[in-house]
C-alpha cells in the first residue's frame, strides 16, 4: 500500500481549539476525580488553573461507571503494615512498598468523604446486626468517620449500595473544577467526550511535559492543551487479547472495554520508564457474564469445586508446591487461578461455585425475611456492576440461589489498580523508602511534570476504587507543588496544523479510498479498526499467552509473535475511519498496540513464571527468586521503535 498523506483533500479540516491551563488531568475515573478534588484545594488559592479532559462523560466514566457493591480497600481496624503485607503477598512478593504504604495511610479518608457525599455504606449496630446502607441511615447508625462499624465482606472490603457510586464521586470532582473555574476566570475547564491521544513535550527539554492533544468524539474539533504539569489516569488495557466472549457478545469483558491502554502507550511514547508491564490480571468470574464473585466468596462464604466435587485448592496443593514453593502457602489470587487451571486442563471441570449451598447454610442462622433481603442484595451485586450476568442466568433458566454456577478465568487485562501491578515507574512519597525511589514529587514519572495514578501508577496494585481516588488526591497535591516550584513557561515544538493532519489521517484515508471497492469494508488501500483489533487480539492470544494456549508462552512463541506484531504495526499506519467514532477506535488501537508490545517485551525479558495462573513461561516454569525477585522496567524510543528492558532492585521495607 502506498504511504498515507493527509492534506485534508478528502476529509474536512477540523476546528483547532487551543486551551491553556496549569494542571491538566487526563481521564475522568476515580483517580482523576480524586485529583480534581484535591488540586482545587491547593491550586485555587494560588490562582492556578485546573483542567480535566475525559474521553467519556465523567458521571459514568472509568471502571466504576456501572456501579459497585463493595469498596475493596478500607483499612479501618487494620494496620498499614498489614496492608503492605497483603498487597505484597497477592502480587507474588514484588511491589513498591513505599507507594503501597503511602496509599494505606490515607485511603480511609477518601472512603469517609464518599459517605459524607451521600454514598450509602452498610453498617452494624451495637448488637452486631447488619444493615444495608439505606437501613443504616434510617437507623441513624453513626458514619464511619464517627465510629460506625462497617459490614465487612472480607478483611479489607466493606459493603455499599453502590449503583450511583461513580456519580457521587464525580459530582464532588466536578464541583471542585467549577470552583476553580470561577476563581481563576476561565471559560471552561471540564472537557467531556474529548479523547487525548498523545502527550506534547517541551521543545527545550524533551524529558518535560508541555501539553497534550486529542479530538472530540462528538464534534469535528482538534483540542490542544498547553500545561505545566499533567496527570495520566486514563485506565488500563482491555481487548488487547482475544476475549472469551464471541460474536454478538464480544463487547462483553470484565474490565471496561473503553480502557485501551492509553495511559501506558502515551507514557511510553513520551519516554517514561515503565515497570512490571509483564504483569496482568486474569480474574476468575462467572462464565460468560463475567459477573463478580467476591461477595459470594467473602460475604456469603460460597465454596468452589471441580466437576468431581473436589476442592481443587486442596487436591493440587502438593503439585503446585513443586514449582512455586512458599507461594502456595500464601495462596494469593495467582495460585488460586493456577490450581483451577490445572483441573480444567486435566478434564476435571467444570469449576462451579456453590451459590446454592452458601445461601442454604446462611438460612440456618437467619430468618426468612433476612434471607430474602440477602438474596435481593446478592442480585443487586450484579445489577450494580454486571447486568449481563443476570441476563446470562435468566437465559439459561438458572436461579443461583438454587443451583451452582460455572466459573471461568477470563482473558488477560493490563492494569495497575486492581489485582495487578503493570504501569509507570513513579517517585514515592519521600518520607518512606530508599533514596532511589524519590525524585522530588510524589507519583511523578521519570518525565518531568508528568504524574500517574490509578491504573497508571505501577508496581502497587490492590488500590481498587477507593485507593485510586486516594492516589489521585496524593497526585493532585504533588502536581500543585510542582507547579509552584516550576513556574517557567513551557512550549512544545509541534505545529497545530501538522498535529491535525496526523490525528485525522484515518479519516482522510477513508475519504480518499472508500470508493475504490464496492464494499467499503473490503479495500486494498486500508484496514478498518475492527479488523486490525482482531489481528492484534489473535496474535496476542496465540503467542503471548492468551486463553487459547491456557496462558502459556515461551521464548520461541514470543519471537514468532514479534514477527506478526511488526506486520500489525505496519498495517496500523493504513487504518481508516469513516466517522469520529471509528477515529476513536483507530487511536485506541494505536494505544493497544504499544501497550501489548510492552507486555510481550517484558514477559520475554523475565525468564521465570512469576505469576502462575496469569501467565506461564513454558521454558521457565518455576518462580526463581534468586535471579528474578526484582522489578522489570523498560523505556521506549519512539523514533527507533526499540525497547530497552532492564532490572531494578526490589527493596523490602515491611518485614
Using one digit for the tens of pLDDT, what is the confidence trace for 412-437? 999 999 999 999 999 999 999 999 99
- pLDDT for res 192: 98
- pLDDT for res 357: 86
CATH number of the domain within which 540 lies: 1.20.58.100
Residue 24 forms part of a structural domain = no
- pLDDT for res 451: 98
Residue 291 belongs to what H/E stretch? none
- pLDDT for res 72: 96
Residue 520 forms part of a structural domain = yes
C-alpha cell at 609: 513464571
Using one digit for the tens of pLDDT, what is the confidence trace for 271-285? 999 999 999 999 999
- pLDDT for res 158: 95
Domain boundary among the residues 392, 409, 426 is at 409
Domain boundary among the residues 375, 409, 443 is at 409
Q: How many CB atoms lie within 10 A of CB 77?
A: 9
Determine the average pLDDT of the residues in 434-445: 97
Residue 551 forms part of a structural domain = yes
Answer yes or no: do 401 and 510 share one domain: no
CATH number of the domain within which 348 lies: 3.90.700.10
Cα–Cα distance for residue pair 633/57, rounded to 1 Å: 33
Answer yes or no: do 405 and 517 share one domain: no
Return the percentage of the chain with pLDDT > 90, whole number. Answer: 87
Burial (CB count <10 Å: 0-12, 13-18, 19+), residue 655: exposed
Residue 120 forms part of a structural domain = no
Contact 187, 17 (CB under 8 A): no
List the domain range (segments joined by +) for residue 313. 284-409
Q: Which residues of 316-340 are buried (b: 16+ CB within 10 A; e: fewer)?
A: beeebeebbeebbebebbbbbbbbb
Contact 167, 68 (CB under 8 A): no
17 CB contacts (<8 Å, ≥6 apart)?
221, 222, 223, 224
pTM for the predicted model, two decimal places: 0.97
| Closest among 318, 425, 355 to 649, alpha carbons compared | 425
- pLDDT for res 293: 85
Residue 509 forms part of a structural domain = yes
Question: pLDDT-based confidence at 478, cuts 50/70/90?
Answer: very high
Question: pLDDT-based confidence at 296, cuts 50/70/90?
Answer: confident
Residue 178 forms part of a structural domain = no
Answer yes or no: do 396 and 512 share one domain: no
Using one digit for the tens of pLDDT, what is the confidence trace for 20-67? 999 999 999 999 999 999 999 999 999 999 999 999 999 999 999 989
Question: pLDDT-based confidence at 327, cuts 50/70/90?
Answer: very high
Question: pLDDT-based confidence at 71, cuts 50/70/90?
Answer: very high
Residue 397 forms part of a structural domain = yes
Residue 575 forms part of a structural domain = yes
Using one digit for the tens of pLDDT, what is the confidence trace for 590-624? 999 999 999 999 999 999 999 999 999 999 999 99
Domain boundary among the residues 348, 377, 409 is at 409
- pLDDT for res 2: 77
**pLDDT of 383 higher than 80:** no
Total domains, the chain: 2
Amino acid at each position: 500500500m502506498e504511504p498515507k498523506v493527509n492534506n485534508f483533500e478528502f476529509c474536512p479540516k477540523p476546528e483547532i481549539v487551543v486551551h491553556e491551563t496549569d494542571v491538566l488531568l487526563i481521564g475522568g475515573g476515580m483517580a482523576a476525580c480524586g485529583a480534581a478534588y484535591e488540586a482545587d484545594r491547593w491550586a485555587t488559592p494560588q490562582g492556578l488553573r485546573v483542567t480535566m479532559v475525559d474521553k467519556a462523560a465523567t458521571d459514568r466514566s472509568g471502571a466504576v461507571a456501572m456501579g459497585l457493591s463493595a469498596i475493596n480497600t478500607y483499612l479501618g481496624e487494620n494496620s498499614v503494615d498489614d496492608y503492605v503485607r497483603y498487597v505484597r503477598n497477592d502480587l507474588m512478593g514484588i511491589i513498591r512498598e513505599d507507594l503501597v504504604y503511602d496509599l494505606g495511610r490515607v485511603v480511609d479518608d477518601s472512603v469517609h468523604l464518599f459517605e459524607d457525599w451521600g454514598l450509602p455504606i452498610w453498617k452494624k449496630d451495637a448488637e452486631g446486626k447488619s444493615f444495608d446502607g439505606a437501613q443504616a441511615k434510617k437507623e441513624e447508625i453513626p458514619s464511619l468517620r464517627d465510629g460506625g462499624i462497617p459490614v465487612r465482606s472480607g478483611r479489607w472490603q466493606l459493603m455499599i449500595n453502590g449503583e450511583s457510586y461513580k456519580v457521587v464521586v464525580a459530582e464532588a470532582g466536578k464541583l471542585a473544577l467549577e470552583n476553580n473555574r470561577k476563581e481563576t476566570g476561565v471559560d471552561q475547564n471540564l472537557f467531556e467526550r474529548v479523547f487525548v491521544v498523545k502527550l506534547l513535550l517541551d521543545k527545550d527539554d524533551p524529558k518535560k511535559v508541555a501539553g497534550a492533544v486529542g479530538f472530540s468524539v462528538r464534534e469535528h474539533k482538534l483540542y490542544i492543551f498547553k500545561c505545566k504539569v499533567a496527570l495520566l489516569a486514563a485506565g488500563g488495557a482491555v481487548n488487547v487479547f482475544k476475549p472469551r466472549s464471541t460474536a454478538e457478545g464480544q463487547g462483553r469483558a470484565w474490565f471496561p472495554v473503553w480502557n485501551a491502554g492509553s495511559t501506558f502507550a502515551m507514557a511510553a511514547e513520551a519516554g517514561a520508564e515503565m515497570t512490571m508491564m509483564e504483569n496482568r490480571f486474569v480474574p476468575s468470574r462467572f462464565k460468560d457474564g463475567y459477573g463478580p464473585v467476591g461477595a459470594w466468596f467473602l460475604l456469603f462464604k460460597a465454596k468452589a469445586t471441580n466437576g468431581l466435587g473436589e476442592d481443587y485448592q486442596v487436591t493440587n496443593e502438593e503439585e503446585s508446591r513443586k514449582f512455586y514453593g512458599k507461594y502456595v502457602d500464601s495462596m494469593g489470587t495467582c495460585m488460586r487461578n493456577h490450581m483451577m487451571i490445572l483441573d480444567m486442563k486435566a478434564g476435571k471441570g467444570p469449576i462451579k461455585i456453590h451459590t446454592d449451598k452458601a445461601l442454604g447454610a446462611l438460612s440456618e442462622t437467619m430468618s426468612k425475611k433476612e434471607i430474602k433481603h440477602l438474596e435481593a442484595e446478592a442480585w443487586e451485586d450484579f445489577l450494580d456492576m454486571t447486568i449481563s450476568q443476570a441476563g446470562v442466568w435468566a437465559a439459561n433458566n438458572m436461579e443461583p440461589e438454587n443451583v451452582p454456577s460455572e466459573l471461568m478465568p477470563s482473558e488477560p487485562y493490563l492494569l495497575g489498580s486492581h489485582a495487578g501491578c503493570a504501569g509507570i515507574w513513579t517517585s514515592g512519597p519521600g518520607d518512606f523508602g530508599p533514596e532511589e525511589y524519590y525524585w522530588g514529587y510524589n507519583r511523578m514519572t521519570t518525565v518531568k511534570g508528568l504524574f500517574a495514578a490509578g491504573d497508571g501508577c505501577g508496581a502497587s496494585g490492590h488500590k481498587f476504587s477507593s485507593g485510586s481516588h486516594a492516589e489521585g488526591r496524593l497526585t493532585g497535591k504533588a502536581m500543585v507543588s510542582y507547579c509552584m516550584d516550576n513556574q517557567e513557561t513551557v512550549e512544545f515544538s509541534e505545529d497545530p496544523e501538522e498535529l491535525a493532519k496526523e490525528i485525522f489521517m484515518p479519516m482522510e484515508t477513508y475519504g480518499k479510498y472508500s470508493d475504490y471497492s464496492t464494499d467499503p469494508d473490503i479495500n486494498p488501500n486500508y484496514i478498518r479498526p475492527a479488523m486490525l483489533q482482531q489481528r492484534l487480539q489473535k496474535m496476542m492470544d496465540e503467542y503471548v499467552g492468551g486463553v487459547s494456549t491456557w496462558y502459556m508462552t515461551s521464548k520461541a512463541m514470543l519471537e514468532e509473535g514479534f514477527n506478526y506484531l511488526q506486520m500489525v504495526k505496519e498495517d496500523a499506519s493504513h487504518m481508516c475511519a469513516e466517522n469520529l467514532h471509528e477515529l476513536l477506535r483507530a487511536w485506541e488501537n494505536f494505544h493497544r498496540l504499544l501497550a501489548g508490545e510492552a507486555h510481550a517485551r517484558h514477559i520475554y525479558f523475565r525468564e521465570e513464571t512469576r505469576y502462575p495462573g496469569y501467565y506461564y513461561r513454558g521454558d521457565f516454569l518455576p518462580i526463581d527468586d534468586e535471579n528474578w525477585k526484582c522489578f522489570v522496567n523498560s523505556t521506549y524510543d519512539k523514533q527507533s521503535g526499540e525497547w530497552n528492558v532492564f532490572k531494578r532492585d526490589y527493596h523490602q521495607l515491611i518485614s
